[in-house]
Amino acid sequence: MGNVLKIILQRLALGLLTLLIVSVVIFVAVNMLPGDFAESILGQGATPEAVASIRRDLGLDQPPVTRYFAWLAGVAQGDLGSSFAQANFASFTGTNSGAKTVAEQIAPRFANTMFLAAVTAVIAVPLSILLGILAALYRNSVFDKATNIFTLSSISSPEFFLAYVLILFLAVLNPILPSLSNIYDGMGFGERLNRTLLPALTLTLVVTAHMMRMTRAAIINLLASPYIEMARLKGLSPMRVIVKHALPNALAPIINVIALNLAYLITGVVVVEVVFVYPGIGQLFVDSVKIRDIPVVQACCLIFAAAYIMLNLTADILSILSNPRLRHPK
């Protein structure tokens, strides 16, 4: 148990170090974006004095190193900063009544993205594992080949293309689901789920192939093992052999690929959210990039990176717990 705890603590320390390095990359990349918030707000007729005044008020006149460490110190205390757009709104109105911090802006959007990811995961994970088991059970059959062709076709297509195809067939030609996911606070669960299904189905088509093919490959790789042959000699049915004996020993690679795809559901939803006008963190990220709202863009990128790193760490830890050989590395 002590060895497992040591490995987990090492993974967590490595994750924190990775996040710190990623924060530097995020800060540098965001601040290298072309354009300037002050100039975008004031327009083409902005005078140098007005631009300099807004940059001074927002702290953009300070050295990059100073701004990075100030941002990092705020993040460490749970303060993601203040939105430039909100600060500009407050300065024009002379009141802070409508101003929101970055955290207040992101919180409801992140909750919406998590809801979309959860709906997709509930559909995609069981479906992928089931298809992977059936493809391994009936490998090289018509079902196996058809499943592989369908999943490879879906994963090879851009997200926006799949989204528009689903909109065409499920919202235009057959108005079963709404084409726009205009959800809002206070909406009932049933209505929210109905408006989230179309983007969730799009993401399901994207992530199912990875998980299904890994499940299939991991199970087929174990079917030639001696204990599988012994189970067959005992007269167990092929499905029981796979589910009871092969699947538990194939969990480590399956868990890894599921965690990677769950990370994608949080970090890779930008295109899907834009297509369906879904009010998630991806849509907020795109809107903030347009107006060069640097604090919001940095916070969104950091949340994406943290979610990806956390899910990868979770996959590593679960793999270690599910595979005794990983607990005692040579």
Over the stretch 8-42, which tens digit does the pLDDT of each residue have?
Answer: 888 888 889 999 999 999 999 888 877 666 666 66
The pLDDT value given to residue 92: 45
DSSP secondary structure letters along 34-90: SS-HHHHHH-TT--HHHHHHHHHHHTTTS-HHHHHHHHHHHHHTT---B-HHHHHHH
Q: What is the pLDDT of residues 190-214, one digit of tens each?
A: 889 999 999 999 999 888 888 888 8
Spatial separation of the C-alpha atoms in residues 280 and 270, rounded to whole Å: 8
Q: Which residue has the higher pLDDT, 323 or 48?
A: 48
Reported as a pLDDT band with limits 50, 70 and 90, residue 86 is low
CATH 1.10.3720.10 maps onto the chain at: 107-290
> Under a CB-based contact definition with an 8 Å cutoff, are residues 72 and 299 in contact?
no
Mean pLDDT score across all residues of the chain = 83
> Under a CB-based contact definition with an 8 Å cutoff, are residues 74 and 81 in contact?
yes
Please tell me whether residue 29 adopts helix, strand or coil conformation.
Answer: helix
Q: Which of 36-40, 240-244, 312-316 has the lowest mean pLDDT?
A: 36-40
Tokens 């717990």, residue located: 321
Residue (of 182, 166, 170, 43) closest to 112 by Cα position: 182
The pLDDT value given to residue 201: 92
- In CATH terms, 107-290 corresponds, of 1.10.3720.10, 3.20.20.70, 3.50.30.30, 3.90.79.10, to 1.10.3720.10
